[in-house]
Structure 1
Amino acid sequence: MSAQIELVSARAVHGLEPVPDLASADRIVISNSGGKDSIAAMDEAVRLADDAGVRDRIVVLHIDLGRTPRGHTVEWPGTEDLARRQAAHYGLPFQVRRSAKWPSLVHRIRARGQFPHFLSRFCTSDMKRSVAHRFVTEQVDALGITGRPARIVHVMGFRAEESRARARRPAVEVDGRASSGRRTVTQWYPVLRWSTTEVWQRIRDRGLPYHWAYDAGMSRLSCSLCVLASAPDLTCAAGLRPALAREYADLEKEMGVPFRRELSMAEVIRRAGGAA
């Protein structure tokens, strides 16, 4: 009953969200992390692209966050393969890109001497946003459009429930930092006002492939050990990936700063039943 009330209330307050003019887009780039919100956003974007007759203009981008100095994947094992299978589910071309400067997010953290936090999300700016911008440049170059800016629609699985900042976003907005005289980049968040219940309902109704970490107890995917994750998710992740958690705890000691101000990785490991 509470889930039904939640869904009805969200629709009553926000109504139908705007959709960009997909028929006028020269390229539609779908960023896919492999998470539940990404696959739901992809499904919705493909559905509306089909309505506009432009599925052939879609390309799926997965940004890989690399391997730590000890060889562990920053993301959950199998994420890249899952993202590829999710793209193949729709017959879409799939591309993987990585930071050209940093072998992994952990290398970037060590170089900076601190972990990301809410007010300094360099994990996103250095490892994801800049990589996505370079990919868009590649797409614009390949299109070879002259006489006008190329029209790019960038699809992301942001949801308002995830943070106050995302809740303030419109469902469609021009990305001024990514746009230039050569291109206009429109950000589109197809599932922005969807609840978690709606996301999972779409996944189940459509039989969409999703990551095993959810069935193992995680509520979000993201990095395996994300500084913005809830304490229960961090505890769950440390239990599932103890060697990675140990590497983060050792990095805490090396840099002399905790994983989070109020929660060290050593404490997360203790909560997960490991030896700190």
Structure 2
Amino acid sequence: MSTKPNSPPAESWALDGREVDLLHYIYNRPDIKEIRGNPKKVLSAIDTYNIEFSFLMNIGATKGEFITNIIAERKPSVMIELGGYIGYSAILFGDAIRKNGGKQYLSIEKNPEMAAIADRLVELAGLRDYVRIIVGSSSEVLRELITETKEIEAVELIFIDHWQELYRPDLWLLEELDGLKPDKSVLLADNVIVPGTPDYLEWIQATTPEAKREILSRSNFGSLKPNPDLVYDSHVQEFDTHIGHVGLP
């Protein structure tokens, strides 16, 4: 999934006060009582702000429906998100997790201000029992969830939507931690074409362990321990001018 070609840089779309303004807009709406406890209406209010006031870097309806359909098909007990922003995807997918018998949606967001906004909107949507916003870097939190608290034995479904330069390192970390299981784990990654994550795509689309070892021979992976024997069944899904990637090890 990707942003539109020739779009301005992400920095011009966020973290300039619009996210706090969104909270004021929603809580000052005359229909706030009807919005409270209703995930669909919270998302609709965010969409209205996005259209009428300031653009927000949310997943959007088309790509959102694609992922909620995967949730309905796979029915994961727990889903993880890397990069939560204001909580739009956490509300949309967390509600889908709830409707399909799942237990929890874990949204990892490094920026504490964005995490606080997401937390308030999740609370407003009435999803506190299903959605947990975790403040911290993706690599630190993934290590904690898998190796320290052992909340996650194997990743069932993960949505990667943070900084593009972290996509491959975090994927390699999941491989190192043995968090990805063949026929059990599904990866969903946004923005892989535009702005683009060529190193992530090269790794996940390599079709043999030999091809992956060749990639490692010319890559700097530091202390990470990627698993070249883990080959993914991957494809790119197009949505008009938007493109999405799905990976299944």
Q: Name the TM-score class by shorter chain.
A: 0.3 to 0.5
Q: Which protein is bigger by CA-based radius of gyration? A: 1
TM-score, length-normalised on structure 2? 0.34
Larger relative contact order, structure 1 or 2 (CA cutoff 8 Å, min sep 6): 1
TM-score, length-normalised on structure 1? 0.31
